[in-house]
């Protein structure tokens, strides 16, 4: 083999191994937002969850006597919050959870009921186990900023 052929051979081997090693890494980098199905999917899940929360006997008090537009605005913000935290191309324009829930006196019991509705909603949309666990883990991570009472 002449040295120029050997050099070309070496370059192609290096190129192929680079491509083989790079491809799975790129494939694994899909964000939770993409894995959930993008904004429409996030939006449908939040619409369903909010209907359940507002109808709930114990949690309904948080939304009692609020105007339709106020609720629509909140829903939009929750969608943007989830979409941006899940890695979507969204800028969340609202307040951070600690500030927006401060003084609502949300209790551990309220949180438990909230999680029952979230689980029921995820059941309805039949999320695959990995995405379901990722969503639940993310929501759990927000609890410290939302629950104020034992
Ligand atoms: C028991 C659980 C929860 C209750 C009772 C609750 C209740 C509320 C209420 C009543 C508002 C409207 C506040 C306002 O208009 O000033 C609100 C806003 C909001 N909530 Fe929650 N929430 C709960 C859990 C969560 C969780 C788990 C998240 C996020 C993962 C979340 C994200 C938000 C966001 C992004 C807003 C809008 C903030 C803004 O107005 O700037 N909430 N929540």
Give the pLDDT score at 88.
98
- Predicted confidence at residue 26, as pLDDT, reads 53
Give the 3-state secondary structure of residue 146.
Answer: helix
How far away, in angstroms, is 7 Cα from ligand 1 center? Answer: 62
**Cα gap 39→37, rounded to integer Å:** 7
d(CA 123, CA 129): 10
Supply 44's token pair. 């449908």
How far, in Å, is the centroid of ligand 1 from the Cα of 3?
68
By alpha-carbon position, which residue is closest to atom 35 of ligand 1?
A: 78
Each residue's pLDDT tens digit, 56-81: 999 999 999 999 999 999 999 999 99
Instruction: State the alpha helices, DSSP H only, in 29-128.
Output: 32-36, 38-55, 68-85, 97-101, 108-125
pLDDT (tens digit per residue) in 79-108? 999 999 999 999 999 999 999 999 999 999
Residues with CB under 6 A from ligand 1: 59, 62-63, 70, 74, 77-78, 81, 94-95, 97, 100-101, 106, 110-111, 114, 139, 142, 146
Q: What is the pLDDT of residues 9-57, one digit of tens each?
A: 655 655 555 555 555 555 568 999 999 999 999 999 999 999 999 999 9
Phi and psi at 140, nearest 5°, equal -55, -35
Find tokens 């619409």 and name the residue. Answer: 47
pTM: 0.86
């Amino acid at each position: 083999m002449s040295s120029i052929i050997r050099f070309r051979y070496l370059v192609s081997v290096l190129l192929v191994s680079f491509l083989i090693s790079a491809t799975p890494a790129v494939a694994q980098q899909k964000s939770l937002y993409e894995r959930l199905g993008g904004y429409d999917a996030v939006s449908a899940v939040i619409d369903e969850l909010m209907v359940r929360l507002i109808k709930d006997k114990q949690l309904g008090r948080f939304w009692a006597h609020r105007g339709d537009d106020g609720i629509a605005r909140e829903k939009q913000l929750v969608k943007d919050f989830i979409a941006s935290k899940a890695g979507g191309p969204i800028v969340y324009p609202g307040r951070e959870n600690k500030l927006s829930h401060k003084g609502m006196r949300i209790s551990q019991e309220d949180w438990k009921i909230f999680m029952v509705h979230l689980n029921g909603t995820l059941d309805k949309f039949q999320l695959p186990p990995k995405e379901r666990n990722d969503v639940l883990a993310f929501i759990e991570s927000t609890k410290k900023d939302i629950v104020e009472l034992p």
